[in-house]
Amino acid sequence: MNTKAFAAFIGIGLIATGCVRTVSDTKTAAWPLVKDRIEGRYERPVNEVYDAAKAVITSNGVLSKEYIPHDTTNTVRALDGKVKQRTVWIRVESTAEPSITSVTVQARTKGGGSDIELVHDLEKQIALKLVK
């Protein structure tokens, strides 16, 4: 009886875990329906905000990848990295208003959980880099 209950529990756990779309237009295995991203908007050009985001990732961890997501224009750029053993994705894109740039930061643990505190901290660090 215990074996059947354990197998049912494992099956429910596997079904509950799914693929989640990242801000860089990729997918990762994670727990769905959990807040894992924060957006900030700044009155700066895309290149300046992108450089600040890149500096924040490299000062806190390791930058794994930087690229322009598939099927987008050059006004959208993305970064992937590792910070405090968390996978972090950052998307920098221009908005409908030409002087405003949007930054979306997302982080997940190895087990697919959210680390919203890290996301908030990284987004604030990007804002502080832009003030200097």
Q: Is the pLDDT of residue 63 over 70?
A: yes
In a domain, 89, yes or no: yes
The share of the chain scoring above pLDDT 90, in percent, equals: 44
Q: Are 29 and 112 in contact (CB under 8 A)?
A: yes
DSSP assignment of 46-98, as one string? HHHHHHHHHHHHHHHEEEEEEEPPTT--TTEEEEEEEETTEEEEEEEEE-SST
Question: 97 or 40: which carries more pLDDT confidence?
Answer: 40
Mean pLDDT, residues 33-61 taken together:
91
In a domain, 87, yes or no: yes
pLDDT in tens, 5-39: 666 666 555 555 567 777 776 767 666 677 888 99
Query: How much is the pTM?
Result: 0.80
In a domain, 8, yes or no: no
pLDDT of residue 74: 67
pLDDT class for 71, splitting at 50, 70, 90?
Answer: low
Residue 15 phi/psi, 5° resolution? Answer: -70, -40
Q: At 27, which CATH number?
A: 3.30.310.50
Domains: count for the chain: 1
